[in-house]
């Protein structure tokens, strides 16, 4: 099954007899703002206009647990996550389409969580809301509660020890910007650099200027050149398990299965005992 869907395909499915549940997960990373500058409000953006029938999902509150030693966006409590998905109308046998404001990171986080917890049919709107040419709605639709019950699979998830081991035995991609990987800058976490052995693979290089994914063949060629050849186990991390989910999605588009280290650099770097590599080489 394709992991992404175009805006025209979504419009056709919404007009059909068995429309998907649509989740709006607009979100932006909260970093230091100038005095008086407001933080991005995803719910307000949703209320100002969304794909008709879409339901808002809050990444920080419903797709992640509290920030702490496990990272800035650790796994949510699965019972709470399941309840949030059911409130949004998600059922095990109903397709789900997720979108955000165009960057794709937040939508990918929702896609990854739903897929990892057992939902069989989840896709991301390629290009996000900017790709949608239809009318927008300000109505908050009533939703019949769904029946989705999270049931995580055996694979697809890495912890810190798994990530360290995979950097030696397979390939571990670092999805952050290159300057953060190299340790030249670190605007958020305790220290800059990367997990020793990890390969720099910025997730922004997986998309065209309009935010849509590159063709699957181009993505396969890119990841193969970075070490993801046939039979090699692949993992991904980022800053806090959000942009890394977007890279896992890009790998899925390319036909390459990959696991996600959800705690990512925000968890790894919080422990001074863990080694840190800097510079352009994996180390």
Pair 65, 203: CB distance under 8 Å = no
Pair 219, 248: CB distance under 8 Å = no
239 vs 260: CA distance, rounded Å:
12
pTM: 0.95
Asked if 128 is an active-site residue, the reply is no
12 vs 209: CA distance, rounded Å:
25
Eight-state DSSP code of residue 8: H
Pair 129, 26: CB distance under 8 Å = yes
31 pLDDT exceeds 70?
no
- Residue 168: is it exposed, middle or buried by C-beta count within 10 angstroms (0-12/13-18/19+)? exposed
By DSSP bridging, strand 171-174 and strand 55-56 are: unpaired
Q: Which CATH class for the 157-268 domain?
A: alpha beta
Eight-state DSSP code of residue 5: E
Q: What is the pLDDT of residues 50-89, one digit of tens each?
A: 999 999 999 999 999 999 999 999 999 999 999 999 999 9
Kindly state the average pLDDT of the residues 139-150: 93
Tokens of 138: 């300000």
Tokens of 195: 């997990």
Q: Which fold has domain 4-131?
A: Oxidized Rhodanese; domain 1 (3.40.250)
In this chain, the answer to whether the domains covering 4-131 and 157-268 adopt an identical fold is yes
Would you list the domain boundaries of the chain?
4-131, 157-268
Which DSSP string corresponds to 212-277?
A: PBPPHHHHHHHHHHTT--TT--EEEE-SSSSHHHHHHHHHHHTT---EEESSHHHHHTT-TTS--B
CA distances from 80 to 86, 120, 153 (A): 10, 20, 18
pLDDT of residue 30: 62
pLDDT of residue 4: 98
Tokens of 196: 């020793």
Q: What is the pLDDT of residues 87-108, one digit of tens each?
A: 999 999 999 999 999 999 999 9
Eight-state DSSP code of residue 117: T
Average pLDDT, the chain: 94
| Tokens 């590159």, located at residue | 214
pLDDT of residue 32: 45
Q: What is the CA radius of gyration of the chain?
A: 18
Q: What is the pLDDT of residues 171-200, one digit of tens each?
A: 999 999 999 999 999 999 989 999 999 999
pLDDT of residue 33: 44
Write down the catalytic residue from 172, 238, 248, 252.
238
**SS3 assignment, position 186:** coil
115 vs 198: CA distance, rounded Å:
25
Provide the 10 A C-beta neighbour count for residue 101.
20
Q: Cα–Cα–Cα angle for 203, 204, 205, nearest 5°?
A: 90
């Amino acid at each position: 099954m394709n992991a992404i869907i175009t805006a025209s395909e979504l419009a056709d499915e919404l007009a059909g007899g068995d429309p998907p549940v649509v989740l709006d997960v607009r979100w932006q990373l909260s970093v230091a703002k100038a005095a008086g500058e407001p933080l991005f409000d995803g719910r307000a953006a949703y209320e100002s206009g969304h794909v008709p029938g879409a339901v808002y999902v809050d990444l920080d509150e419903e797709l992640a647990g509290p920030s702490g030693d496990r990272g800035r966006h650790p796994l949510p409590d699965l019972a709470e996550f399941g309840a949030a998905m059911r409130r949004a109308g998600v059922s095990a046998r109903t397709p789900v389409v997720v979108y955000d404001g165009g960057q794709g990171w937040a939508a990918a986080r929702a896609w990854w969580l739903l897929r990892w917890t057992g939902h069989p049919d989840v896709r991301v709107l390629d290009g996000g809301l900017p790709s949608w040419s239809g009318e927008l709605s300000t109505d908050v639709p009533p939703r019949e509660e769904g029946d989705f019950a999270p049931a995580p699979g055996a694979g697809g998830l890495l912890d810190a020890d798994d990530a360290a081991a995979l950097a030696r035995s397979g390939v571990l991609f670092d999805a952050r910007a290159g300057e953060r990987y190299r340790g030249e800058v670190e605007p958020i976490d305790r220290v800059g650099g990367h997990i020793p052995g990890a390969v720099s693979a910025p997730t922004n290089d997986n998309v065209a200027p309009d935010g849509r994914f590159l063709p699957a063949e181009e993505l396969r060629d890119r990841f193969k050149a970075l070490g993801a050849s046939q039979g090699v186990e692949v993992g991904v991390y980022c800053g806090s398990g959000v942009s890394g989910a977007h890279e896992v999605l890009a790998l899925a588009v390319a036909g390459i299965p990959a696991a996600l280290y959800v705690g990512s650099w925000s968890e790894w770097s919080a422990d001074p005992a863990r080694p840190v590599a800097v510079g352009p080489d994996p180390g």
